Amino acid sequence: MHAAPGLPDGAPEVLPPWWSAGETATRDPLLWDSRAVIEALALSKRHGSRLAVDDLSFTAPDGAVTGLLGPAGAGKTTALRLAVGLDRGAGTVLVDGLPFAAHRRPSQAVGVALDARALHPGRTAVGHLRALAAGAGVPRRRVAEVLERVGLVGAERQRPAAMRRGAAVRLAVAGALLGRPRTLLLDDLTTHLDDDARAWLRQLVREHAEAGGCVLLAAGRAADVVDCADRLVVLRRGRLAASGPVADLLAHAGSAVLVRASDPGRLAGAVLRWGGSVDPLPDGALVVTGLDMAAVGEVARAEGVALHELTARLADLDSSLQSLELPETALVSGAPQPSGVGA
């Protein structure tokens, strides 16, 4: 059994190893109830005449990565800022049953990486983390641990201006991990990342979730979250367009399949007969909608057409997800509170 670092009021006194052993330990499912960790209820935020977030409710459970997905301007950053009290607005966000600011040590409840570019230009990576640790009441030795965790050992003395995007993202994540938080809020870190850094981030959030943590990962493109998220909350112009398990949403979104075949004309005719739609591309590939990948494979086999490529076409997924109208019912279990967020 372990002591409770930054334990919020009302949390169990007996904690799973996950709390103190950090992000590599395995969560004991018998000790934690599976429940929503983040509960956002009726969030609204206006910037002048524009409603950046409009009556938005969603939840994010523990043991899972929840993708907060929407195009530029959909309200992802505003929703995250409301969650941690950086913006004031209407509605309520509870993290582990409490507003962010009501936690005894907020940074030990929630790790936040909102803007990987917002680093003090005069500080080195290690200086940045030491300053954050001091502000959050985290022991200085934790800085070395998080530098190692994010793979920045050897780059401690680099300054933000000299950092590539991937290193800046690692540093932002290191800052979020300092307080060993159960919950991570990560805003749009996937954009402009190279494949290695993207794969690293994906693995890190998966490990955090598999250790029992809650991750809310904002992204502008479905391709950046569908392969690491368990659930999606899809935003459209500040409102909830859809939420639920990734597999369910992908099934409803009717994602397209890109296919290259030995005889595209013959395959296209067969797809149409099987009830699908076909959009031929100039290079001979076909974009099939209305049939899933397995069905396209079956059609090809039945027609004796060889397949050279068969892939989900994620670029189309963004627009499909944006046109969904599938908010889950009974999203929020926490009781609404009278005061506004960030108050």
CA atoms in the 13 A half-sphere facing the CB of 142 = 24
**Binding-site member from 12, 21, 35, 47 for ligand ATP (CB under 6 A):** 47
**Vertex 40, ends 37 and 44: CA angle to 5°?**
160
Tokens representing residue 217 in the block = 């990962």
Binding mask 12-41 for ligand ATP (x = CB under 6 A): ------------------------------
**Binding-site member from 54, 62, 96, 188 for ligand ATP (CB under 6 A):** 188
3-state secondary structure of 141: helix
- Does residue number 236 form part of the binding site for ligand ATP (CB under 6 A)? no
Nearer to ligand ATP, 96 or 224 (CB): 224
Shortest CB 225 distance to ligand ATP, Å: 13
Shortest CB 221 distance to ligand ATP, Å: 10
- Does residue number 313 form part of the binding site for ligand ATP (CB under 6 A)? no
Residues 6+ apart with CB under 8 A from 280: 264, 268, 286, 287
Q: What is the DSSP letter of 131?
A: H
- Does residue number 90 form part of the binding site for ligand ATP (CB under 6 A)? no
- Which one of 46-54, 133-141, 259-267, 281-289 is the stretch in contact with ligand ATP (CB under 6 A)? 46-54
Strands (E), the chain: 36-47, 50-61, 64-69, 90-95, 110-113, 183-187, 214-219, 231-236, 239-245, 256-261, 277-280, 286-289, 307-313
Shortest CB 188 distance to ligand ATP, Å: 5
Nearer to ligand ATP, 54 or 96 (CB): 54
Shortest CB 327 distance to ligand ATP, Å: 18
- Does residue number 50 form part of the binding site for ligand ATP (CB under 6 A)? yes
Answer for the pair 92, 100: CB distance below 8 angstroms, yes or no: no
- Does residue number 239 form part of the binding site for ligand ATP (CB under 6 A)? no
Shortest CB 78 distance to ligand ATP, Å: 3
- Does residue number 49 form part of the binding site for ligand ATP (CB under 6 A)? no
Nearer to ligand ATP, 59 or 78 (CB): 78
Q: Report the distance separating Cα 115 and Cα 176, nearest Å.
A: 11
Pairing between β-strand 110-113 and β-strand 183-187 as defined by DSSP bridges: parallel
Nearer to ligand ATP, 76 or 208 (CB): 76
- Does residue number 52 form part of the binding site for ligand ATP (CB under 6 A)? yes
DSSP letters along 63-113, please?
TEEEEEE--TTSSHHHHHHHHTTSS-BEEEEEETTB-GGGSSSHHHHEEEE
DSSP letters along 241-269, please?
EEEEEHHHHHHHHT-EEEEEES-HHHHHH
Nearer to ligand ATP, 14 or 72 (CB): 72
Tokens representing residue 223 in the block = 């391709």
Listed residue (306, 310, 298, 251) closest to 273, CA to CA:
298
Binding-site size, ligand ATP (CB under 6 A) = 13
Which residues inside 60-89 make contact with ligand ATP, applying CB under 6 A? 70, 72-78
- Does residue number 220 form part of the binding site for ligand ATP (CB under 6 A)? yes
Shortest CB 201 distance to ligand ATP, Å: 16
3-state secondary structure of 45: strand
Footprint of ligand ATP on this chain (CB under 6 A)?
A: 47, 50, 52, 70, 72-78, 188, 220
